[in-house]
Amino acid sequence: MSKVKYYFDPETLSYRPIEITNKKRLSNFILFLLASFAFGLSSLLIFLNVNWINTPSEISQKRALDNYELQFNILDKKLKQIETVIANIEERDNNIYRVYFEASPIPEEQRKAGFGGVNRYKDLEDYDNSELIINTAKRLDILSKQTVVQSRSLDEIERLAANKAELIEAIPSIQPVKNQDVTRMASGYGFRIDPFTKKRRFHYGMDFSARKGTPIYATGNGTVKRADNRSSGFGKHIRIDHGFGYVSLYAHLSKYNVRRGQKVKRGDIIGFVGNTGRSIGPHLHYEILKDNKKINPLNFYYGNLSQKEFDAILIQSRQENQSMD
């Protein structure tokens, strides 16, 4: 049984029970319905705008996004590892390999060049994660460029290494006759007395005294350029082209053991000592040319001389005596 409510009646100076009419009841009921509807509608709007409960489609999309984020994180770690490896290879390339083979280092600008000017990443803009995507694309492009440059550099190093080995074998680095006691060096490179004019003139080679028929050896790998007696003063002589700008000359021979165009190796017997041409006795006149310029052969005898033997022949070569041709 509901409680009875009263109100004070000033006219009768007494409390009278409150009587609710049907109209009032209907009005209160309608207000209750309207309030309930408003509360329900506002609750629904709030519910729809808060991700308390996701639809299956939204759950699937969230999983896909989480997976993409995971893949990007893995890719980022792999990129950092590759960048570190490439940086180490570039450092060794510039500071070890290219230094050893006397090649210029590749500047950093050249290794990463070609990414300025036109915006090549315009198609990747206006996405939720555009900054991340563009940054990753740039890193991949730079790594690709660095890989191409480094690959070409290693190809060059491989070629230089092959040339280095070939150069070492080609340089005329031994004496052209056996000179174990270093007593056969008769006259050195520099100003000497001409045996015919008795005047002081420059002697562009070294004279080795030896018996006629003494074997003469190729001082480095190469190709016989000339083997004839058509050069003034040299008599029968041989010229070997060693490549890399080096040419060795052997003059006053008695006999050839090679022919023009023949390939020879260091230590091969190419001819024999004689006394042909402008000569006062059996000996070998030996010259080395680098880029068509005659240079001192003494600087190339490191292939079969000890330090003591080199010092002895150095003293002999500095004596301004009479040459033999």
Is 178 a domain residue? no
Residue 155: which domain range? Answer: 71-170
Domain assignment present for residue 5? The answer is no
Rounded to whole angstroms, how far apart are CA atoms 317 and 299?
Answer: 11
Structure tokens at 118: 């036109």
The reported pLDDT for the residue numbered 40 is 66
Confirm if 134 and 125 have CB atoms less than 8 A apart: yes
The reply to whether 164 and 207 lie within a common domain is no
Residue 258 belongs to domain with CATH number: 2.70.70.10
Say whether both 201 and 306 belong to one domain: yes
Is 213 among the domain residues?
yes
Q: Do 218 and 100 lie in a common domain?
A: no
- Walk along the chain (325 residues) and give the pLDDT tens digit of each residue: 556 666 666 777 666 676 666 556 666 666 767 777 666 666 655 655 655 556 777 777 778 777 877 888 888 888 888 888 888 888 888 877 777 676 788 887 777 766 555 677 777 777 767 777 778 888 888 888 888 888 888 888 888 887 888 888 998 989 999 876 556 778 889 899 888 888 999 999 999 999 999 999 999 999 999 999 998 899 999 999 999 899 999 999 999 999 999 999 999 999 999 999 999 999 999 999 999 999 999 888 876 677 777 777 777 777 888 888 8
C-alpha span between 41 and 38 (Å, rounded): 5
The domain boundary, picked from 143, 170, 197, lies at 170
Tokens linked to 32: 């209750």
What is the reported pLDDT for 85?
A: 83
CB atoms within 10 A of CB 296: 15
Residue 208 has phi, psi (to 5 degrees) of -115, 115
Number of domains in the chain: 2
| Residues 268 and 292 grouped into a single domain | yes
How remote is the C-alpha of 262 from its chain's centroid?
37
| Residue 116 backbone phi and psi in degrees, to 5 | -100, 180
Joined together, the tokens standing for residue 205 give: 């080679």
- Strand partners of residue 215: 272
Residues 304 and 276 in one domain: yes
Q: Does one domain contain both 134 and 235?
A: no
Please calculate the CA angle 275-280-283 and round it to the nearest 5 degrees.
Answer: 45
Q: Same domain for 194 and 144?
A: no
271-312, pLDDT tens digit by residue?
999 999 999 999 999 999 999 999 999 888 876 677 777 777
Asked whether residue 131 falls in the same domain as residue 191, the answer is: no
Same domain? 131 vs 225? no
Domain edge (last residue) among 170, 205, 222: 170
Question: Considering the domain boundaries, does residue 27 fall inside one?
Answer: no
| Residue 101 located in a structural domain | yes
Tens-place pLDDT, residues 82-105: 888 888 888 888 877 777 676 788
**Would residue 7 count as lying in a domain?**
no
Position 162 in a domain: yes
- Asked if residue 29 belongs to a domain, the reply is no
* 142 and 82 part of one domain: yes
- Residue 198 is given by DSSP the state -
- 245 with 275, same domain: the answer is yes
Asked whether residue 190 falls in the same domain as residue 303, the answer is yes
The burial of 83, by beta-carbon neighbours within 10 Å (0-12 exposed, 13-18 middle, 19 or more buried), is given as middle
Where do runs of H (alpha helix) occur along the chain? Answer: 22-49, 56-92, 98-100, 108-111, 130-170, 307-317
